[in-house]
Amino acid sequence: MGKAGEKQKRKPKLTDKRQSERFKETAREVGADASSEAFERAMSQLAPPRTPKSKGPPARD
């Protein structure tokens, strides 16, 4: 925190093209996949889809 009346320095924007390219290159090296199919497959293993629950008490005859 700065002193009263002083302007704070702005943080630089995170638009560094070199950093973006390094990120993409690293993702390729580790085998990251950009398809939604791979995402859905991973999510189904982590959290299987919920089964619908019945609403209300069971019907009496």
Residues spanned by the domain of 38: 22-46
Residues with Cβ within 8 Å of residue 44, at least 6 apart in sequence? none
If one counts the domains in the chain, the total is 1
Q: What is the pLDDT of residue 14?
A: 63
Q: Does the pLDDT value for residue 2 go beyond 70?
A: no
Q: Quick one: average pLDDT of 4-18?
A: 75
pLDDT 10s digits, 26-60:
988 888 777 778 788 888 888 877 777 767 666 66
The verdict on residue 11 lying in a domain is no
Q: Does the pLDDT value for residue 21 go beyond 80?
A: yes
The verdict on residue 59 lying in a domain is no
25 vs 6: CA distance, rounded Å = 41
45 vs 40: CA distance, rounded Å = 9
Q: What is the pTM of this model?
A: 0.34
Structure tokens at 9: 């320095």
The verdict on residue 27 lying in a domain is yes
The verdict on residue 38 lying in a domain is yes
The verdict on residue 35 lying in a domain is yes
